[in-house]
Amino acid sequence: MSLKPLTSLPDTPLKINRALISVSDKTGLPELANALHNAGVEIISTGGTAKVIKAEGIPVKDVSEITGFEECLDGRVKTLHPVVHGGILARTSHQPDVDEIEKLDIKPIELVVVNLYPFKNKVADPEITPAEATEFIDIGGPTMIRAAAKNFAHVSILSDPAQYESFVEELEEKMAVSFDTRRSLAKAAFAHTADYDTAISNYFTELIEEEPASQFNISLPVSQELRYGENPHQKAAVYGDQSAYIDCFHGKQLSYNNYLDVDAALNIIADFGDNEQACAIIKHTIPTGVGVGANLKEAYEKAFSTDRVSPFGGIIVVNQELDVETAKTIDEIFTEIIIAPSYSDDALALLQQKKNRRLITLKKNISEGQATSFRSIFGGLLQQDADLGETNPDQFKVVSKREPTEQELKDLLFAWKVVRHVKSNAIVYAKDGRTLGIGSGQTSRVDSSEIAVAKANKEGLELKGSAIASDAFFPFADGVEAAAKAGTTAVIQPGGSIRDEEVIEKANEHDMAMIFTGKRHFRH
């Protein structure tokens, strides 16, 4: 007679009589084992886990004692046995199950405590071989976790040491575990095994170097729930591990839009080396101004001078320790977020006076470990290699009759760094380590150029002798003509238009130096 599935799940509190514990991470294990022992729970365990429990003076049965079968194959087979999985999967509120396990002399297991071999940590080591890596693919662990999670109506599953404390508190207070707790633990358990399987799948995808991968898997833990998304009626959360890159140590929680702006800020500042004093100001993910100088104060003043209106309520990011003199200058306007690798004590004392201002420490360069970018679209997502990599002037080609001067070349390289972070059609005018005008997000490259020129004129910035960078090729010569009229003497662009010759001819007509980079930095 085949068993029929239960039509409903029993939601009564669960008394724990027997527990199976087999963990790779032994954190909190002695405390948990003591609490279970004090609650009269019989403990079954394996290998190293059993040794830790026995060292506490707590009685423990080895799995082989209940299965009658010694572990084998260097420990690969320990818990894969009907006595173990029958005890975990038995529906003790379902009489046919009870009758069957009694007939088979299988006792129920009401608590499973399992966490898995550290596969992610192991494969992060570049020296590990595939043979070594595969030994850290857990088989019995995920099987027990999934079995216990599936049968959460009758079993509790602890898959993370962080769960032990609250579990023990409930057990000691009620001498049982509630249905809601068991269901919540089951959800976490399935997330744990999904994350584990994702890591293994992705490892093999990289190993086989399949491009594109036939299946894309992603598993990220929730970092925090956000108050709302881009607008108050939109629910939102952030996932992953942002704490590896930043520490928001002062001010309110970052919002959805804040995270987008911080991401843009981290990307642009990553293009400036430790030998430079650089500052960028971001508003709505777009740089309003960027500057480099002899010190941070000069770099900030250059960046701010590009656009003196937009920075209000924006984000300021620097690539050196923020000193008090720069902090005083920044403090003259309302700034929502400031990001720096570190802060001087005096700068902190000043900036922390404003309670709502977020202060962030930049802990790691965003280019480290950010090799892929994703965007959600209808029915799925788009994936591409991230637009990373240092600028290599050796790969550039001067296509004009005139070579750029030494100063023009410095201005061109600076403008090229900035333009890759401006949304297309992107145009950046620059001179002497500062942006003079930035045009972005227009349907015409000429429109972007006109906006950049208008911004420079509004701020009284002289464009004569400036350099211009374009993220993609000039499709027509009119873009270069407009730049020449504005006073620009040097142009840097990817090249590749069918009208390149016309564009080069226009540059020569105005005695402009022009460089083709051969690489586009279009941001749609």
How confident is the model over 50-56, as a mean pLDDT? 89
Residue 389: inside a domain, yes or no? no
Domain span holding position 27: 18-208
What are 248's two structure tokens? Answer: 């928001």
What is the pLDDT confidence band of residue 72, given thresholds at 50, 70 and 90? low
**In what helix (H) or strand (E) does residue 423 lie, and over which residues does it extend?**
none
User: Residue 256 — pLDDT band, cuts 50, 70, 90?
Assistant: very high
Cα dihedral across residues 72, 75, 76, 77: positive or negative: positive
Q: In this structure, is residue 5 part of a structural domain? A: no
State the CB neighbour count (10 A cutoff) for residue 480: 26
Q: Are residues 262 and 169 in the same domain?
A: no
> Over 60: is that where the pLDDT of 7 sits?
no
pLDDT in the model for residue 321: 96
Res 287: pLDDT: 95
Shared-domain flag, residues 171 and 95: yes
pLDDT in tens, 262-293: 999 999 999 998 899 999 999 999 999 999 99
253 and 200 in a common domain: no
Residue pair 146/193 in contact by the 8 Å Cβ criterion? yes
Q: How far apart are CA 286 and CA 288, in angstroms?
A: 6
Alpha-carbon gap, residue 170 to 178, rounded angstroms: 8
Q: Residues 460, 475: contact at Cβ < 8 Å? A: no
pLDDT tens track for 437-458: 999 988 888 888 889 999 999 9
Cβ atoms within 10 Å of 354's Cβ, excluding its own: 14
Residues 169 and 56 in one domain: yes
Within-domain flag for 220: no
**362: CB partners within 8 A, 6+ apart:** 245, 246, 266, 269, 317, 339, 340, 341
Q: In whole angstroms, give the CA distance from residue 380 to residue 218.
A: 12
Name the 3-class secondary structure at 518.
coil
Closest Cα to residue 434, out of 411, 465, 407, 405? 411
Instruction: Flag whether 523 is in a domain.
Output: no
Q: Is 284 annotated as catalytic?
A: yes
Of 401, 389, 428, nearest in space to 518 by CA = 389
pLDDT at 45 > cutoff 80: yes
Q: How far is residue 441's CA from residue 288's CA, in Å, rounded to a whole number? A: 13
The answer to whether residue 81 is domain-embedded is yes
Q: Are residues 172 and 270 in the same domain?
A: no
User: Where in 49-198 does DSSP place strands (E)?
Assistant: 61-62, 111-115, 156-158
- Using the predicted structure, report yes or no on whether residue 258 has a pLDDT greater than 50: yes
511 dihedral zone (left: phi>0; alpha: psi -120 to 50; beta): left
If pLDDT is split at 50, 70 and 90, which confidence band does 46 have? confident
Is the residue at 306 inside a domain?
yes
CATH code at position 35: 3.40.50.1380
Q: What average pLDDT does range 210-223 have in this prediction?
A: 74
Residues 410 and 497 in one domain: yes
Q: DSSP class of residue 252?
A: S
pLDDT in tens, 191-205: 989 888 888 888 887
pLDDT of the residue at 2: 46
Sorting pLDDT into bands at 50, 70 and 90, what band is 138?
confident
Residues 71 and 182 in one domain: yes
Catalytic (active site) residue 297: no
Residue-level pLDDT at 200: 83
What was the pLDDT predicted at 204? 82
Domain count, the chain: 3
Residue keyed to tokens 């843009």? 264
The CA distances from residue 484 to 16, 39, 55, in Å, are 81, 83, 81
Which single residue is written with the structure tokens 């202060």?
359
Q: Which of 362, 377, 412 is the last residue of a domain?
A: 362
CATH code for position 270: 3.40.140.20
In the predicted structure, residue 210 carries a pLDDT above the cut 90: no
Assess whether the previous peptide bond of 10 is cis (omega < 30° from 0): no
Q: Give residue-wise pLDDT tens across range 283-333.
A: 999 999 999 999 999 999 999 999 999 999 999 999 999 999 999 999 999
84-137 pLDDT tens trace: 777 888 887 878 877 777 787 778 889 999 988 778 777 777 787 888 878 778
**Torsion of the alpha carbons at 474, 475, 477 and 478, rounded to the nearest 10:** -90
Instruction: Classify residue 483: in a domain, yes or no.
Output: yes
Quote the tokens at residue 134: 């595969």
pLDDT at residue 203, rounded to an integer: 80
Strands 222-226 and 156-158: unpaired
Residues 265, 207: Cα–Cα separation, whole Å? 33
350 and 259 within one domain: yes
Alpha helices in 129-178 (DSSP H): 130-134, 140-150, 164-174
Give the pLDDT confidence score for residue 1 in this predicted structure. Answer: 36
Query: How much is the average pLDDT of 401-416?
Result: 95
Measured CA to CA, the distance from residue 408 to residue 445 in angstroms comes to 22
pLDDT, one tens digit per residue, over 339-381 is 999 999 999 999 999 998 999 999 988 876 567 788 888 988 8
Rounded to whole angstroms, the Cα distance separating 451 from 461 reads 14
Q: Which of 94, 107, 120, 284 is catalytic?
A: 284
DSSP secondary structure, 312-375, as one string: TT-EEEESSPBPHHHHHHHTTS--SEEEES-B-HHHHHHHTTSTTSEEEEE-S-TTTT--EEEE
Place 187 in a pLDDT band, splitting at 50, 70 and 90.
very high
Q: Which of 54, 150, 510, 519 is catalytic?
A: 150
Q: What is the pairing mode between strands 156-158 and 111-115?
A: parallel
Boundary-marking domain end, from 337, 362, 387: 362
Determine the pLDDT at residue 338.
97
Same domain, 58 and 131: yes
